[in-house]
Structure 1
Amino acid sequence: MTLTASPIRYPDAASRTVMTRRAWWLVCLNLLIPGSVQALAGDRRLGRFGLGATLVLWTLVVVAVVVWMIWPTVIYSLFSTSITLWILAAAALFYAVLWIVLTLDTLRLVRLVKTAPSARAWVALLSIAVMTVVSGTAAYGAYIATTASGFLSTVFVAGPSEPPIDGRYNILLLGGDAGPDRDGLRPDSITVVSIDAETGQAVTIGLPRNLSDVPFNEDSPLHDVYPEGYGSIDGCEVDVCMLNSIYTEVELMSPDMYPDAVSEGSEPGIEGMRDAAEGITGLEIQYYALIDMQGFLELIDALGGVTVNVPEDVPIHADETFTTVAEWIPAGEQHLDGYHALWYARSRHGTSDYDRMARQRQIQEAVLAQFNPANVLTKFQEIAAAGSQVVKTDVPQSMLGYFVNLAGKTKELPITDVPLVPDNGVDPEDDPDYEYIRQLVSDALTPPTPEPTTD
Structure 2
Amino acid sequence: MTKRGWWLVLLNLVVPGSAQVLAGNRKLGRFGLRATLTLWTLAILLGVAYLLWPATVLTLFTSAIGLWVLAAALVFYGVVWVILTLDTLRLVRLVKAAPGARPLIAGFATVLMVVLAGTAGYGAYVATSASNFLSSVFVAGPSVPPVDGRYNIMLLGGDAGADRDGLRPDSISVVSIDAETGQATMIGLPRDLQWFPFSDGPLADLYPEGYGSIDGCEVDVCQLNSVFTEVELKSPEMYPKAIKNGSEPGIEGMRDAVSGITGLTIQYYVLIDMQGFSDLIDALGGVDIDVQSRVPVHSDDTFTDVAFWFEPGMQHMDGYHALWFARSRHGTSDYDRMNRQHQLQEAILAQANPANVIAKFEAVASAGTQVVKTDIPQGMLGYFVNLSSKTKTLPIKAVNLTPDNDVDPTDPDFVSIHQMIDEALAPPPTEAPAE
Taking structure 1 as the reference length, the TM-score comes to 0.93
From 272, 277, 301, the counterpart of 1:291: 272
Distance 1:239 1:182 in 2: 15
Q: CA deviation at 1:446?
A: 2.1
Amino acid at match of 1:339: Y
Distance 2:432 2:178 in 1: 24
**Correspondences of 1:306-321 after superposition (within 5 Å):** 306-321=287-302
Number of the residue aligned with 2:326: 345
Q: CA deviation at 1:425?
A: 1.1
Number of the residue aligned with 1:251: 232
Q: CA deviation at 1:344?
A: 0.3
Give structure 1 stretches of 5+ with no counterpart.
1-18
Number of the residue aligned with 1:226: 207
Number of the residue aligned with 2:129: 147
From 27, 35, 47, the counterpart of 1:53: 35
Q: 1:426 to 1:134 in 2, by over 3 A?
A: same
From 130, 151, 156, the counterpart of 1:169: 151
| 1:210–1:242 CA contact under 8 A, matched in 2 | yes
Number of the residue aligned with 1:115: 97
From 384, 387, 390, the counterpart of 1:406: 387
Amino acid at match of 2:55: T
Percent sequence identity is 68
Number of the residue aligned with 1:265: 246
Q: CA deviation at 1:119?
A: 0.7
Number of the residue aligned with 2:418: 438
Q: CA deviation at 1:413?
A: 2.6
Taking structure 2 as the reference length, the TM-score comes to 0.97
Amino acid at match of 2:118: G
| 1:181–1:320 CA contact under 8 A, matched in 2 | no
Q: CA deviation at 1:58?
A: 0.6
Matching of residue 198 in structure 1 with residue 149 in structure 2 = no
Number of the residue aligned with 1:126: 108
Number of the residue aligned with 1:7: none
Distance 1:239 1:327 in 2: 34
Distance 1:397 1:166 in 2: 23
Distance 1:450 1:163 in 2: 26
Matching of residue 86 in structure 1 with residue 68 in structure 2 = yes
Deviations 1:154-173 (A, max 9, x none): 11111000111111111111
Number of the residue aligned with 2:16: 34
Q: 1:448 to 1:413 in 2, by over 3 A?
A: closer
Q: CA deviation at 1:402?
A: 0.8
Amino acid at match of 1:315: P
Number of the residue aligned with 1:303: 284
Q: CA deviation at 1:450?
A: 7.5
From 177, 184, 189, the counterpart of 2:171: 189
Residue aligned with 1:184, SS: coil
Give structure 2 stretches of 5+ with no counterpart.
none
Q: 1:207 to 1:413 in 2, by over 3 A?
A: same
Q: CA deviation at 1:447?
A: 5.5
Residue aligned with 1:432, SS: coil
| 2:350–2:392 CA contact under 8 A, matched in 1 | no
Q: CA deviation at 1:135?
A: 0.5
**Count of residue correspondences:** 435
From 127, 140, 143, the counterpart of 1:158: 140
Distance 2:13 2:207 in 1: 71
Q: 1:241 to 1:56 in 2, by over 3 A?
A: same
Distance 1:319 1:123 in 2: 61
Residue aligned with 1:205, SS: strand
Deviations 1:313-360 (A, max 9, x none): 211223323222223222221100000000000011100111000100
Residue aligned with 1:102, SS: helix
Amino acid at match of 2:325: Y
Distance 2:375 2:361 in 1: 23
Deviations 1:400-424 (A, max 9, x none): 1111111112222333211101111
Amino acid at match of 1:91: A
Distance 2:198 2:104 in 1: 75
Q: CA deviation at 1:309?
A: 1.1
Aligned CA RMSD, in angstroms, stands at: 1.6
Q: CA deviation at 1:453?
A: 10
Amino acid at match of 2:57: I
Number of the residue aligned with 2:361: 380
Q: CA deviation at 1:449?
A: 4.2
Distance 2:303 2:213 in 1: 29
Amino acid at match of 1:104: L
Q: CA deviation at 1:201?
A: 2.0
Number of the residue aligned with 1:326: 307
| 1:315–1:326 CA contact under 8 A, matched in 2 | yes
Distance 1:322 1:414 in 2: 33
Distance 2:15 2:298 in 1: 61
**Correspondences of 1:361-400 after superposition (within 5 Å):** 361-400=342-381
Q: Between Structure 1 and Structure 2, whose CA radius of gyration is higher? A: 1
Residue aligned with 1:117, SS: coil
Residue aligned with 2:148, SS: coil
Distance 1:310 1:416 in 2: 19
Residue aligned with 2:101, SS: helix
Deviations 1:120-153 (A, max 9, x none): 1001100100001110111111001001101110
| 1:175–1:291 CA contact under 8 A, matched in 2 | yes
Amino acid at match of 2:288: T
